Each structure stands twice: as structure tokens, then as C-alpha cells.
Structure 1
Amino acid sequence: MSNQEQKDVIALKLEMEDETTGAVASHHVLSSYTVYLQQNSVHAMFATYVSKRAYEAGKQPVSHGASIHIAALPPSDEPVAKWIYRHAAAPAGEDNHNPSPLAGAELVYAD
């Protein structure tokens, strides 16, 4: 495992335009998640900020609209948030019936 992979993932970086405001935002932070044990699935919500700098300065998010559904449960040997970030950023494949709106995002690691 590389040093980068051992660090905590703290956000996703992907430039996208907010549908409601038209603002371009690039910093997406996991704001909440729910694990459904009986359904073997996870639902996660992301807060979207104009930039990492805006987030770190305590600015308000542009939206809380990015959400994903993962039809699996996180493994017990990986932090749930890191697992969710990895799934949210995974490229959309042909077999992915519910692709993430954050597919293709870059993982942002803690310093």
C-alpha cells in the first residue's frame, strides 16, 4: 500500500456546474451517510463548495444535492468515509446502473 493510499480521503475534486445557481464548484465533502444493513446498501450525501479554499475558510456550500447509492456494504477493514469517497469517484462502468454524479473525481487526501 502506498503512502498516499494510507492517508485519509477528505474530499473529492471535480469541477461541475450547480444546476440551481449556475455556480462552478470543485470541492465535494461527504456530509452524511446511511448504512442499510438489511438492504446491503449505503446512501451518501455530499456538500459542494466552490473550492477547497472556500471550504477551509468556513464558507457555505453551493449545494447539498450530490448523492449516491452504493449497492454494497463497506468492508470492516476500511474506514466507511474513505470507502464511500472511492465509490463516488469510481469511473462509471457499463454495468453501473446508478452511476455517481462524482464519477471520475480526484481523491483529495489529508496533508
Structure 2
Amino acid sequence: MRALGVDMSEFGTCWQDKITKGSTRPRSQLEERNLLLKGARKGDTVVIAAPLCLGISEKDAAWFLAELAECGAVVTVNGDLDTLKPGDDHSDMLRRVASAHNVHHVRVAKAKARAKSK
């Protein structure tokens, strides 16, 4: 968050989840995210570091954004660059999530190929 220029002193609780490789049930395995959803209230602002952090897939990110909207929370992604209010269209952000996942998977595949060739 600091790398994105987010002043952590002005925000409340910070959560971070780790999911194991090959996990297929993010709604039950991302426990910290579930706690965040239980505690989110109307008017709260949830700060997400990057589109990649919204979920393990575009479908998962769509679910997470819908849950936050239902709570009435405002979501900011990349610091203040992108703000989503309850009722806003999430389609552009979901395209960015899909793109971020594609870039990540390509980067991992290239790293594996380089390691194999050595």
C-alpha cells in the first residue's frame, strides 16, 4: 500500500489473505476477506492495492465487488485512481482484473521456462 502512495495512518484495519496454489474455493479459503465483508458497513471505504488483488479470477472479483456494493462500501483500487461506489458499473474494472491475471500467468510461465532452460 505504501508503494502506491497510500498513507496507512489514515486507514483502519489492513487485511491480507494468502491462498495456496491450485485453490479453487476462494469464498471459503480467503478468511480475511470474509471477515472484511462481515465488518463492512455503508459509507466505509475499502482500499484495494491493485486489480489483481480483487480476486483469484474475474468471476471471483465480480462476486467480491458485488458483496461490497451490497454492504454499501466504496471501493478504491490503485490508491485514488479508481473509485467504485455502490451501484457503479464494475465491467471496466473486471476487464482490468482479467488483464492483470493474464499478465501474471504469462510472467509466471516465462519465469518457469527460463528456469527450465538453465
Structure with higher RCO (Cα < 8 A, 6+ apart): 1
Which structure has the highest helix share of the two? 2
TM-score normalised over the length of structure 2: 0.23
TM-score normalised over the length of structure 1: 0.24
Which structure has the highest strand share of the two? 1
Structure 1 or 2, whichever has the larger Rg, is 2
